A and B are shown apart, each in its own frame.
Chain A
Amino acid sequence: MLRMVPLPRFAGEETGACCFPPPCSEAKRGRGTTRRVVEGARRSALGYLGDEPMSRTQGAGRAAAVAVFLAAVFVAIPWAIASTGRTDLYYTLSSVALLAIASGGVWLTFYIGRINIGQGAWALAGGYASAVLVATYGWSFWLSLPAAGLICAFASVLVGLPILRLRGVYFSMVTLVLTEVARLTALALPITNGARGITSIPTPGPIRLFGLTIVPAFDSLAEPNRAFYFLSAAMMTLCFAGLWRLVHSRLGQLFAALRQNEDLASSMGVNVPLLRVVAYAISSFLGGVGGAIFVAIAQSIYPSSFTINDSVNFMLNCFLGGLGFVFGPMLGTLVLYFGWDLLFQTGPYQLLIYSGSMILLMLVLPNGILSLLNLRRRAP
């Protein structure tokens, strides 16, 4: 897909924001548990969902982490790009943000205990939905964006009802096949224009409210890529904030219950099939939204825009970041994407080194990068 981009100079920028340990408010709990609570605060600020009682005294730490993250994404990065003139990075970072959104969806299906290797299908479906609405029916991009997400969510309910009954590798394999189904469908349908795809899709128009222009038309801007970066980053922030809230709400608790034991959950009266479909629909919604913005940036879409490779990568992003962390997929996407780009200069050895280091990483950190935080806790 959109990979071969020149070498970035400061890939660490966003990572720094992600991993920043927030200054924790000293716990007001019992003496012995202080250390645990503080650590809990640090990790829960990163969205760790593991095996520890969630402490509720981390407001300050969390707020600081969020502030640093927002400042880095919306101020520091644009400033650094402006001052170094590396405007190509806008495009790269937009891609990372959009892929992270789709990966976040995959992460949610992981969260209910399903390994989803089919997000490419929904990214493709969302991309096509937006492309057709904008290019063929003349919709505004801004309307097509939620529409694409909702179309994916709706379609994924229909697909999900039967396939979510499958567990383990069966579900994984079916979702993998689903990506192929999406590609072949895009090739076969008249409305998607077969292998030629849809090209010359207009860029997003303006948003006007009460005669006021809130967002200018993208093609009127000197740097549309900058606008796309802000759009993608804002969407990513929104999606992950939503995800974070979701898994910390009651719904999230029920999702976790599903992952750990579907039978027990249903014996307590939890409507397991419904919740599974809800999670899958949200996941596909994220895939569709990510795909739709991607298409708006590329101004074109083909059946091969999202393939099985992308589906696998979405899954890898989640694994690599750490499945126990809401923000794992964000970090995983960043690392994998920039890792791949950094290796560009190794020429023919790019894939070899890339996959080799992935294997090594698995050996050293089988529970994802963010699990480093847990290690530090265990070795005092």
Chain B
Amino acid sequence: MEQVIANGLYLGAQYALIALGLTLIFALMNVLNFAHGQMYVLGGFVVYQVYGLMKLPFVVALVAAAATLAVLGALLERFLFRTVIRRSEREESTMLLAAGIAYFLDAAILLMFGEKQRGVHKIVSGVFVWDNLILPWDRILVAGLAVLFIVAFILMMQYTKPGRAMRAMAQDRTAAQLMGVPVQFYGLVGFALGAMLAGLVGGLLVTITGVNSGIGGPISIKAFMMVMIGGAGVTGGAIAGGFILGMLESVGLTVLHAYGDLTYLAIFVAMMIFLAIRPNGLMGKPWG
């Protein structure tokens, strides 16, 4: 039992961080980032390259992953999303663009890193044992780092000037613009930040589950689910959604162990029923 909860929390911390990035991009740009999972995968491969192959310290690798993804996110916003948003008649067009980018990153990652499952050696070894609870130290460390990043993100959004500007922008873009917030610039910052969060989680989790070029899509879908459960565009919602999904997976995989895929079927169906009752998720604002 404790084991199930501990696993749920560990998964939840990672998921929450992924969902935060997705929801940030959505809140600021009204873009559903289909390529979020691919950004996660890219982060994993950067750490694999720097930490696993080049044998540099893990911290350096993690910073490299964050920086790579932040730059990638900024470039995508500046040169692709901004243009399409400006030119298109319907804002849904960004979905096509995002889907195209997802395919593109998939292809690029496959070409650069091949299709093999890649892992790196443990960042710390040993196992934490307490009563019947058994947790490897590296999982605890990774979960701790994820929580640390979440807290840092919340603090930044609450107390720094860019954070306040982005919150204002998420509330009401036009009003924020009238108040003098340079919305274009913060759109770029938000995109970079969202991509960076995805890369950070990828970089953290590669040390435990490894990474392969095919998991981008499934990760995106999980991220979508978390955001839907919690409510799109809301920080608290993303965090709640992440932990809820983590917990559900942990419980489901234990209870429905024998049936494998049934866990996800059950989660999906439960989520659709939940959304039928609460169309805006737990904390989402009414849409449209």
**Does A associate with B in a complex?**
yes
Contacts from A to B (Cβ < 8 Å)? 110, 115, 159, 162-163, 165-170, 172-174, 176-178, 180-181, 184-185, 187-188, 308-309, 312, 315-316, 319-320, 323-324, 348-352, 354-356, 358-359, 362-363, 366-367, 371
User: B106, B110, B268: which contacts A177 (Cβ < 8 A)?
Assistant: B268
B87, A355: Cβ atoms closer than 8 Å: no
| Residue of chain B at shortest CB distance from A357 | B100
Which of A162, A173, A187, A188 has a CB less than 8 Å from the CB of B276?
A: A162
Taking a contact as CB atoms under 8 Å apart, the answer to whether A170 and B217 are in contact is no
- A156 CB → nearest B CB, Å: 13
Given A165-B276, A165-B279, A184-B264, A359-B101 contact (CB < 8 Å): yes
- Docked Cα-Cα span, A169 to B91, in Å, equals 11
Q: Which residues of the other chain, B, contact A178 by a CB distance below 8 angstroms?
A: 272
Give complex CA distance A355, B90 in Å: 21
In order of increasing CB-CB distance, the 9 nearest A-B pairs are: A162-B276, A355-B103, A351-B107, A366-B88, A352-B107, A355-B104, A184-B265, A358-B100, A173-B224
Given contacts A170-B228, A308-B221, contact A351 B84 (CB under 8 A): no
B34: nearest residue on chain A (CB-CB)? Answer: A312
Tell me whether B104 and A169 are in contact (CB under 8 A): no
Contact partners of A351 in chain B: CB under 8 A: 103-104, 106-107, 110
1/0 contact string of B89-108 vs chain A (CB within 8 Å): 11011011101111110111
Check A177 against B108 for contact (C-beta < 8 Å).
Answer: no
- Provide the residues of chain A in CB contact with B227, threshold 8 Å: 173
DSSP class of B's interface residues: helix, strand, loop or mixed? helix
Determine whether B1 belongs to the interface, using a CB cutoff of 8 Å to chain A. Answer: no
Tell me whether A168 and B261 are in contact (CB under 8 A): no
Q: In this complex, what residue of A is CB-closest to B288?
A: A167
Contacts of A366 in B (CB 8 A): 84, 87-89, 93
Q: Are B92 and A349 in contact (CB under 8 A)?
A: no
For residue B232, CB closer than 8 A to chain A, the reply is yes
Pull 26 A–B residue pairs with CB atoms less than 8 Å apart, ordered by A. Answer: A159-B272, A162-B275, A163-B275, A166-B287, A167-B279, A170-B280, A170-B284, A172-B95, A173-B224, A173-B225, A176-B224, A180-B221, A184-B262, A184-B265, A188-B261, A188-B262, A308-B217, A308-B221, A315-B95, A320-B96, A323-B92, A348-B111, A351-B110, A355-B103, A356-B104, A367-B88
Residues on B close to A: CB < 8 A? 26, 32, 34, 80, 83-84, 87-90, 92-93, 95-97, 99-104, 106-108, 110-111, 217, 221, 224-225, 227-228, 232, 259, 261-262, 264-265, 268-269, 271-273, 275-276, 279-281, 284, 287-288
B95 touches A367 (CB 8 A): no
A323 to B90, CA, bound (A): 9
Min distance, Cβ B257 to any Cβ of chain A, angstroms: 15
Question: Other CB < 8 Å A-B pairs besides A180-B221, A366-B93, 4 of them?
Answer: A163-B272, A165-B276, A359-B101, A371-B89
- Complex alpha-carbon distance, A355 and B26, angstroms: 22
Please report the C-alpha to C-alpha distance between residue A316 and residue B83 in the assembled complex, in whole angstroms.
19
**Is B272 touching A162 in the complex (CB atoms < 8 A)?**
yes
* Complex alpha-carbon distance, A266 and B233, angstroms: 27
Residues of A within 8 A of B88 (CB): 366-367
A363 B276 Cβ-Cβ under 8 A: no
**Known contacts A181-B272, A352-B111, A312 near B90 by CB under 8 Å:** no
Smallest beta-carbon distance A313→chain B, Å: 9
Given the known interface contacts A170-B232, A308-B221, the answer about A319 and B93 at a Cβ–Cβ threshold of 8 Å is: yes
Cα–Cα, bound, A40→B222 (Å): 45
Q: Within the assembled complex, what's the spacing in Å between the Cα atoms of A168 and B287? A: 7
Bound Cα distance A349, B107 (Å): 8
Look across to chain A and name the residue whose beta carbon is closest to the beta carbon of B91.
A168
Most A Cβ at <10 Å: residue of B83, B100, B265: B100
Query: Smallest distance from the beta carbon of B148 to chain A beta carbons, Å?
Result: 28
- B279 and A166: CB pair below 8 A? yes
Give the distance to chain A from B75, nearest Cβ to Cβ, in Å: 12
User: What's the nearest-Cβ distance from chain A to residue B108, in Å?
Assistant: 6
* In the complex, chain A residues whose CB is within 8 Å of the CB of B34: 312
Residues of B near A169 (CB, < 8 A) are 26, 32, 232
Measured CB to CB, the nearest residue on chain B to A364 is B87
Minimum C-beta distance from A171 to chain B (A)? 9
Q: Please give the distance in Å from A366's CB to the nearest CB on chain B.
A: 4
**What's the Cα separation between A188 and B263 when bound, in Å?**
11
Shortest Cβ distance from A378 into chain B, in angstroms?
A: 13
- CB contacts (< 8 Å) of A309 on chain B: these are 217
Are A352 and B93 in contact (CB-based, < 8 A)?
no
Complex Cα distance A362/B264, Å? Answer: 34
A256 to chain B, nearest CB (A): 14
Task: Report chain A residues within 8 Å CB of B280.
Answer: 170
Which residue on chain B has the smallest CB distance to residue A359? Answer: B100
Q: How far is the CA of A29 from the CA of B102 in the complex (A)?
A: 49
- Are B84's CB and A184's CB within 8 A? no
Q: Which residues of A contact B93 (CB under 8 A)?
A: 319, 362, 366-367
Please report the C-alpha to C-alpha distance between residue A83 and residue B151 in the assembled complex, in whole angstroms. Answer: 69
Please tell me if the beta carbons of A359 and B89 are within 8 angstroms of each other in the complex: no
Q: How far is the CA of A349 from the CA of B103 in the complex (A)?
A: 12
Interface centre among B87, B103, B227 (most CB of A within 10 A): B103
Chain A min CB distance to B58 (Å): 30
Q: How far is the CA of A320 from the CA of B95 in the complex (A)?
A: 12
Contacting residues, chain A, for B288 (C-beta < 8 A): 167-168
Q: Smallest Cβ distance from B18 to chain A, in angstroms?
A: 14
Name the residue of chain A whose CB is nearest to the CB of B260. A187
Nearest B residue (CB) for A358: B100
* A166 & B111 in contact (Cβ 8 Å cutoff): no
Instruction: Please name all residues of chain A whose beta carbon is closer than 8 Å to the beta carbon of B264 when the two chains form the complex.
Output: 180, 184
Contacts of A324 on B, CB cut-off 8 Å?
89
